[in-house]
Amino acid sequence: MSGPLNGTVMWLTWRQLFARRRLWLAISFSLAPALFTLVFRVLADDGPSSEATFFNTLTREIVIGTLLPLAALIFGTTAFGGEVDDGTLLYLLVKPIQRWHVQASKVVVSVLSTVAVVTPAIVLPWLLLAGPDVTARGAMSYLAGAALGSLLYCTVFLALGLANRRALVIGLLYVVSFEGILSRSLPGFKSLSIREFSLAIAQAASNGAVVIQGAVSTSTVWWMGTIILVGATYWAALRLVRYEVAERL
Amino acid sequence: MTTTADLDRSTTLSPSATPSGAQVALRNVSRWYGNVVAVNDVSFTLGPGITGLLGPNGAGKTTILHMMAGLLRPSVGDVLIDGAAATSTPQVYRRLALVPEREAVQPFLSGYEFVRTCARLQSLPNAEEATRNAIALVDLVEAQHRKIGTYSKGMRQRIKIAGALVHDPMILLLDEPFNGMDPRQRLQMMDLLRELAGKGRVIVISSHILEELDDLATNVLVMVAGRLAASGHFREIRRLMTDRPHTFTVRSSDDRGLAAALLADHTVFGVELTTSGLVVRTTDRGAMTRGLSRVARDARIRLLEIRPTDESLESVFSYLVDR
């Protein structure tokens, strides 16, 4: 493959991301919402409006609020972090490939992997609850929001994986404290929250099918999203280009 | 003491007289980490052949190897691969390969997948064939489809070497390459490296196990505390160490008589009678070897064997390190 995306690096990254227990973790992330939905269908019988409430809550809180950042955290930090720790990154760096091509390839695979995990987590519950109040448009809108969230989260977490040996722990603290608590309780922090960006995009794409109370504006999403994306990408590329093997990145 | 390094800090080993013309050059290279100087003003040029990079742990061997591989920038000086800065462009890796010391290889890949990945990252036109050839070179055909995670240490070393050789590099840098290999594998790998050197490849082997390099690398670079203590053929280096007595083991038809005769010789300052023969110490190697036959003839003693006992790489190395 020509250009900044290298097919071999992408294949290697894909093998790395889904190696060992991560494959099972990804499958459980994908299927857990469908399982919750099945339990709901068996136990609850409150009609279509309750199904819509369940689907929206499940997608916003469990999928976009929890599973999406966790999947992105695992894939984003693993894409480089594992290789730096065990020294296998050397095998990529001593090849005739621009280092930023390695980074671009890994970001793309991380994002696609996160989207691949989150998609069944949204689509399967929708298929189980599909009806007048749980529409395809709503599900697709949540998917669009999740795709943007995957891109931003993975870019940030991949940069974090290059920066710190404890990226997974730091990322987890960020997901729990900032995305989980601060951005929900302090309105000013919403305009920095990737979760809020995802929900805002879901609302904007839904044509009224998804309504988020106090969602950030679309222009804020594009501005802040672009700043986060460009900033994290540039910083990670710089770290990788300047990487010297004897030191921690 | 005088060594080649003292005589000329810009040393050329095995100048590139072969068709490959591959060359690695360090010019006044220093590298420090904070206040710690890892490599201090080192210069040399390497051409085709096998060069041993020796030194005790922490001497700066791996730092030098990583600078040659473009994975570390020198704090001062230039590292040139075929005249171009090692860190300037990734295209240098079409001619250069590194086998790192760390054992880690992606455990989730099979040996075949790992080498094929290396081939594809090199954009080789026939990656599959190159992969098969490289794996055959290191004798891992039978285990090639097993996951690397199940490999022994020696097998991992060999698959790393296969990955490095897959694009037939002109310059091969190996950091402790024989770690974990059994004696048969070592011999096989040594033969392979000799064959590559014979084809004009520049091969640099870093090792702290001297026996590995004794037969393999005639040229050595000896690093001590970040400085290049000596370079060149290790026997030549030994001969230049005039402040160290040369030691020979001599067997003859009458060791006791020869000992008495040698003590009268002004070039000999110590003789020891042992079960394996006479151990003779001299400050003037040339004069002693010339005079020994004369002394034996005059004493009517037949010489059976004369063997230098401190011209091994190990002796040279220990003299340099213990200076």
Asked whether residue A4 is domain-assigned, the answer is no
Asked whether residue A12 is domain-assigned, the answer is no
143-182 in chain B: CB under 8 A from chain A: 163
pLDDT for residue B15 is more than 50: no
Cβ–Cβ gap B90/A97 under 8 Å: yes
| Helices A68-86 + A136-163 axis angle, to 10 | 30
> Considering CB atoms only, which of A8, A16, A94 is closest to B97?
A94
Closest CA to B247 of B293, B176, B309, B154: B309
User: Per the structure block, which two tokens stand in for B33?
Assistant: 């980490």
Distance CA B34, CA A164 (A): 20
Q: Is A144 an interface residue toward B (CB < 8 Å)?
A: no
Asked whether residue A2 is domain-assigned, the answer is no
pLDDT for residue B4 is more than 90: no
Asked whether residue A247 is domain-assigned, the answer is no
Q: Confidence band (pLDDT; 50, 70, 90) for A148?
A: very high
Domains and CATH numbers, chain B: 4-239 (3.40.50.300), 243-309 (3.30.70.100)
pLDDT for residue B77 is more than 50: yes
Cβ–Cβ gap A87/B100 under 8 Å: yes
* Percent of chain B as helix, strand, coil, to the nearest 5: 35, 30, 35
Asked whether residue A182 is domain-assigned, the answer is yes
A110-114, B25-29, B58-62: lowest mean pLDDT where?
Answer: B58-62
pLDDT for residue B316 is more than 80: no
| A232 alpha carbon, distance to own chain's centre | 14
Task: Give the mean pLDDT of chain B.
Answer: 84
Asked whether residue A46 is domain-assigned, the answer is yes
pLDDT for residue B248 is more than 70: yes
| A42 alpha carbon, distance to own chain's centre | 30
Range of the domain at A196: 21-241
Cβ–Cβ gap B117/A20 under 8 Å: no
pLDDT for residue B320 is more than 80: no
Instruction: Name every residue whose Cβ is closer than 8 Å to that of residue B76 and which is 6 or more positions away in sequence.
Output: B28, B29, B30, B31, B41
Kindly identify which residue of chain B lies nearest to residue A14, measuring between CA atoms.
B108
User: Per the structure block, which two tokens stand in for B199?
Assistant: 């084809």
> Considering CB atoms only, which of A9, A16, A95 is closest to B106?
A16
Closest CA to A12 of B120, B144, B169: B120
**Chain B contact set for A105 (CB, 8 A):** none
Asked whether residue A219 is domain-assigned, the answer is yes
Q: State the Rg of chain B over Cα.
A: 23
> Who wins on pLDDT, A157 or B57?
A157
Asked whether residue A168 is domain-assigned, the answer is yes
Task: State the ipTM, two decimals.
Answer: 0.86
Interface test with A, best of B33, B71, B87, B150 (most A CBs within 10 A): B71
A177-191, B66-80, B96-110, B227-241: lowest mean pLDDT where?
Answer: B227-241
Q: So what's the pLDDT on residue A97?
A: 93
Number of structural domains, chain A? 1
Half-sphere exposure of B276 (CA within 13 A, CB side): 7
Tens digit of each residue's pLDDT (9 = 90 or more) over A52-84 = 899 999 999 999 999 999 999 999 999 887 788
